Amino acid sequence: MQFIGKYDPLKNEKIQILDNQGNIINNNIEFDISDETLIEAYKIMNLSRKQDEFQNIVQRQGRLLSFLSSSGQEACEVAYAMSMEKGVDWLSPGYRNNAAWLASGIPVRNIMLYWTGNEFGGQSPEGINVLPPNIIIGSQYSQAAGLAFGEKYLNKKGVVLTTTGDGGMSEGEVYESMNFAQLHNLPVIFICENNKWAISTPYSKSTKSLNIAVKAIASGTPSLIVDGNDFLACYAVIQECLKFCREGNGPVFIEFDTYRLGAHSSSDNPDVYRPKDEFEKAKLDDPLTRMKNYLVEKGIWSKKKQEALDSEQFEFLKTEFEWAEKNKDYPVSDVFDYIYDQKPDFLVEQLAEAKTFYPDNENKFGGDK
């Protein structure tokens, strides 16, 4: 182990390999990653950023209900999601994990379908263990601990990853989950993507802790702080943490130090509350710029390849959204069918009333059911 137990959150020690220009500044860290994996990771990061930009446009046109952008957080999200073993490991995400969903194998059209309001967009294809986006802050930590308990109880090999933001770390459920996982020695990686803003509440007003990672120490869970905009550091750390969990050592906590470059949601205007100079400074640490510079310096990326990728991904996003728009409708009974195994009387009555009120919606389906 070169990270767990070596980097001390109580000393605010942060793991970093690349500086914000994409230069390697820490030659003491060993990491093993192929050029093919690096390029694949960068393409997913770029796609997620382009998807955010595209969805902002169509949302303003009234063609998308809402969405929450991952811009600025692509490096850590792609690193941990790419590292999961498909069909074995699990991801219990929050609502701001677009890049992680893509890297996990969730189709773009499913994600778009979800943001049009069709819940089948949140359903993972066969073989991809990703739970639907969790809107309630911090509750995905409990679900992750429960999943990990099931994996251990059934003698399976899966590790469960879950993530919340800095605001979520103030929820009691988060500590309860870590305490439960530590007590039962469960294979779960608790992640905080500390993007410095909980809607309009700055990090400085949400906690007086030295950092987020120290909050795990009270439950006995080993924790690390990582530069969340540095793909190489994120990837190296997550590899070690997965190995740590698979070997039966219990849970681990990672704080990815990052920044939310976009708005909280497509209904939000961060210019109202976020200092302009802070935002301009954060842009200098953009994970895409850092990664691209590293790949160019390594001789495996170029301006010509970037232009071709941007054009290809823009056309791809247009095609996927056209499909999502055509398939966004769903039967009104879907709103009532997935809450209880057997619908109680009051829901039966409400469903009958809804069918009368929306008679044209009962036979419409969208998504890959």
Q: How many Å apart are CA 163 and CA 95, to the nearest integer? A: 10
d(CA 76, CA 244): 18
Distance CA 238, CA 242 (A): 6
Q: For residue 355, give Cα distances in angstroms to 337, 358, 363.
A: 13, 5, 11
Q: 249-279 pLDDT, tens per residue? A: 999 999 999 999 999 999 899 999 999 999 9
What's the confidence (pLDDT) of residue 367?
45
Burial 312-324 (b: 16+ CB within 10 A, else e): ebeeebeebbebb
Q: Domain residue spans in the chain? A: 9-327, 331-368
Question: Is 184 among the catalytic positions?
Answer: no
The DSSP-derived string for 161-208 is EEEEETTGGGSHHHHHHHHHHHHTT--EEEEEEE-SEETTEEGGGT--
d(CA 70, CA 321): 18
CA quadruple 49, 52, 285, 276: dihedral positive or negative?
Answer: positive
Report percent pLDDT > 70 for the chain: 97
* Tokens 């998807």 found at: 51
Q: How far apart are CA 12 and CA 31, in angstroms?
A: 22
CB atoms within 10 A of CB 303: 9
Indicate the pLDDT class of residue 369, thresholds 50, 70 and 90: very low
Q: What's the predicted TM-score (pTM) here?
A: 0.94
**Residue 5 confidence (pLDDT) above 80:** yes
- Point out the catalytic residue in the list 260, 274, 294, 330: 260
Class in CATH terms, 9-327: alpha beta
The DSSP code for 124 is: P
**Any catalytic annotation for residue 260?**
yes
Q: Poorest-confidence range of 85-99, 115-129, 167-181, 237-251?
A: 115-129
> Which tens digit of pLDDT belongs to each residue from 214-233?
999 999 999 999 999 999 99
Beta carbons of 48 and 100 less than 8 angstroms apart: no
pLDDT score at 368: 47
Burial of 82 (0-12, 13-18, 19+ CB in 10 A): buried
Active-site hit among 264, 274, 290, 294? 264
285/290 Cα distance (integer angstroms): 7
Does the active-site annotation cover 80?
A: no
User: What is the DSSP track for 210-261?
Assistant: S-STHHHHTTT--EEEEETT-HHHHHHHHHHHHHHHHTT---EEEEEE----
